Amino acid sequence: MPSQSAATLRSRYVEQAASDLEQNRRRQQELSEKIKMLQQEESLLVDILNLAKRFERSSDAPSLPGQAQAGSARPVSEAAEPLGGGTGRPAKGAETQPRKGAAPKAVGRGISRQPLLGRVLMDLLGTHDEPRLAKELRDELLEKHLDRTPTPQVVRNTLESLVAKGRIQRHKQKRSVMYSLVERSPRKIAASASADKS
């Protein structure tokens, strides 16, 4: 009898140790996944901070090209008046070169007039009723806008900057981060539209 109870006790210890070991391994796996997720979030937050610093620096620069060039050769009244006597079109024989101090046209510099990435992502979000993953939005963007190829990180950074501006919402579901448009009142929509134009 004593040898039988010792064997039973030993088998219970073995079972308990095996159970504890399995539970420990499960916990280690959960913690390592959580560490990976926190590292990704840290990387994203660092990218957002860097983006905000760059935006801050660029907003410190003069907003109008005319401000950057201190001494313009043309008088102020002449620079403000469009060529062609106020019709908005150049007069016959008028020079087609941009005036000194005037903003050059984007087309002349070889830059296409594409909407900003944030605007495109908001338009894509507007076509869906439910929140979307950044990967889904990027895939849809690549499919609908063949001339755009932003990296997944650029898409995430742009989405996070839109969250910071209050234009879209972030939703966390388990380990996934999803985005949707912010429900806005007509007054807020009008204010946002005027801010986009400026």
**For residue 75, what pLDDT is reported?**
44
pLDDT digits (tens, 9 = 90+) for 60-107: 655 544 444 444 444 444 444 444 444 444 444 444 444 444 444 444
Phi, psi of 39 (to 5 degrees): -65, -40
**pLDDT tens per residue across all 198 residues of the chain:** 567 788 888 899 999 999 999 999 999 999 999 999 999 989 899 889 888 888 887 766 555 444 444 444 444 444 444 444 444 444 444 444 444 444 444 444 555 577 888 899 999 999 988 899 999 999 999 998 888 888 999 999 999 999 998 899 998 888 889 999 887 555 544 555 555 554
**For residue 76, what pLDDT is reported?**
43
Q: What's the rounded Cα separation, in Å, for the pair 193 and 198? A: 9
Q: What's the rounded Cα separation, in Å, for the pair 37 and 126? A: 28
Q: How far is CA 198 from CA 59, 79, 175, in A?
A: 13, 21, 37
Does residue 21 sit in helix, strand or coil? helix
**For residue 111, what pLDDT is reported?**
55
The encoded tokens of residue 159 equal 């989405």
Q: What angle separates helix 117-126 from helix 152-164, to the nearest 10 degrees?
A: 80
Terminal Cα distance for the chain, rounded: 91
Residue closest to 165 by CA, chosen among 182, 183, 177, 153: 182
pTM, rounded to two decimals = 0.39
The encoded tokens of residue 188 equal 């807020």
185-187-191-194 Cα dihedral, nearest 10 degrees: 110
**For residue 89, what pLDDT is reported?**
47
User: Cβ(187)–Cβ(181) under 8 Å?
Assistant: no
**For residue 149, what pLDDT is reported?**
87
Which of the listed CATH numbers 1.10.10.10, 1.10.3470.10, 1.10.150.240, 1.20.1070.10 matches domain 114-198?
1.10.10.10
Long-range contacts of 188-195 (CB under 8 A, 24+ apart): 192/167
Going from N- to C-terminal start, the domains of the chain cover 1-60, 114-198
Rg (the chain; Cα; Å): 30
- The string of DSSP codes covering 123-152 is HHHHT-SS-EEHHHHHHHHHHH-TT----H
